[in-house]
Structure 1
């Protein structure tokens, strides 16, 4: 690559918003992290394709959605960060399902389906985030997941082509989908069945109540930290390793649900990630099971920064 990312991008004239050294921390649910070297919020798929096709292959591209399940490292994210926003939030109701844009929030999709009397998408009300991220990680909760309801997803590939991939082609597995290299989810079709709107809304209300009772939903958190190992519950392994309430400065393992990390106010991303690694170490020592991160950790650690505070 010749020249910095900023030098390369300043020659482009996208219709969307393009900024440089843009703070990302305020966009993260943890409220931590460094800046994006370049942040692009495209107007639509064509705008996004135009910018991506103009980039040298050596420029890394990072996708951000609702930022609900990421740790954005303190050193920031190099290359181009793409944040899908309003131009990708459309929800089209159909007779037996709906088509939702990548930035449509899971909760809004569930509520729109309820309004239309479409049953089977209520579980989305229990998943923080947006549809694009939900497809990428086969998000699931309350006895259902994206694999169960997805008919197809439209994917933008680095060459600017849009491919419509079926459920089978996406190769879903636990918390994972197989996308083409560099592929970006643009929208997805989810099937549903006709139901009574009042009954569907009541189901969503029960999910919301159960989630608030069991999870620290009003805290600065990133959702489930570790994947459930086959045959085990991650939270139970964390609890049995004595990590409930464990702290590293203002980073804490939630006492309410110990598969959640919290920023109590002034935690750094380094502290949150360091605390997560300490939990992994203790679980491995206690149970012999190596927990795998479910939260995405993106970007570069800050030079000369280390997790602050003592374990307590």
Structure 2
């Protein structure tokens, strides 16, 4: 008997050996040992409180910047899906409470409808609120740290906690509290400033047009592959190294945007990660600049025990 035979009772769904590729934008990767789709926050908290603390737990959002390796993910993968985690509601005059499963673009639209400026940038972030909290998501000069009041989360031992924004440990595309691995974010409280809804919507339309003209949003991609090194643009370094539009197995850096790694159709996770590592090595050898991954890579390589 293994830990998978002693899973806690839940009201949501527990799926063993569930393929994860359909849950990621890159459409690659092996199965989760167990995929848990909780019914609501209380179901999640009760499950984590009862789960063997030795079992690894990995939250997965909408998979817009996640690469799952071909050998799958050890332990329990938690995906917050459905109405219980996708709601957005107004709190007072200037704040919105958004579930971790709500899309960033939906949060931007709700803020515009409420006449709250400052969250327009989320219209250009292809992910969910939970992911935005985990990686301090942002674009075009704004980021989550600018608008978050506090996050709501469930701890690994099943406690529901509030984490004020100053305690999140935000830096460029990173949240120290998330990196510690002991929290599953379930919601975020965001604050905007009053403005005319039409003016906010116009700014969002500009972001949408800019994104559509410059990024391969209709490809199987993971968004920005590398973080921008200080003083440099990652896409310029990839382009200068000669990797824009150049195939590597079933993987390629987009001809449209050289920092977007794409699955051209039949790529494996090993193809995609292998290309990324090859480009990192060549850029560092040529320029001395180290590229760090922005795409989150999780799981085991193919054939790993």
- The count of aligned residue pairs is 300
1:63-78 mapped onto 2 (5 Å cutoff):
63-78=59-74
1:245-264 mapped onto 2 (5 Å cutoff):
245-264=245-264
TM-score for both structures, normalised by structure 1: 0.94
Contact kept in structure 2, 1:60 and 1:80, CA below 8 Å: yes
TM-score for both structures, normalised by structure 2: 0.96
**C-alpha displacement at 1:181, in angstroms?**
4.2
Cross-structure match for 1:56 = 52
Cross-structure match for 2:78 = 82
RMSD between superposed Cα atoms in Å? 1.2
Q: Distance in 2 between matches of 1:21 and 1:233?
A: 39
The equivalent position to 2:23 in structure 1, one of 27, 37, 41, is 27
Contact kept in structure 1, 2:47 and 2:158, CA below 8 Å: no
Contact kept in structure 2, 1:5 and 1:38, CA below 8 Å: no
Cross-structure match for 2:5 = 7
SS of residue matched to 1:291:
coil
CA 69–181 in structure 1, closer or farther in 2 if over 3 Å, else same: closer
Q: Distance in 1 between matches of 2:157 and 2:220?
A: 37
Q: Distance in 2 between matches of 1:258 and 1:5?
A: 43
Contact kept in structure 1, 2:225 and 2:293, CA below 8 Å: yes
Q: Say whether 1:160 aligns with 2:163.
A: no
Cross-structure match for 1:144 = 142
Listed as ranges, the gaps of 5+ residues in structure 2 are none
**C-alpha displacement at 1:4, in angstroms?**
2.4
1:142-291 mapped onto 2 (5 Å cutoff):
142-179=140-177, 181-291=181-291
Contact kept in structure 1, 2:252 and 2:275, CA below 8 Å: yes
Q: Distance in 1 between matches of 2:233 and 2:277?
A: 18
Q: CA offsets, 1:104-150, max 9 Å, x none?
A: 10000001111111111000000011111101111110110000001
Q: Distance in 1 between matches of 2:250 and 2:48?
A: 38
Q: CA offsets, 1:55-99, max 9 Å, x none?
A: 112111011001000111111111101001122111011310201
SS of residue matched to 2:236:
helix
SS of residue matched to 1:266:
coil
Q: Distance in 1 between matches of 2:60 and 2:134?
A: 12
Q: Distance in 1 between matches of 2:138 and 2:60?
A: 19
Cross-structure match for 2:14 = 18
Q: Distance in 2 between matches of 1:230 and 1:155?
A: 31
Cross-structure match for 1:310 = none
Q: Distance in 1 between matches of 2:218 and 2:26?
A: 11
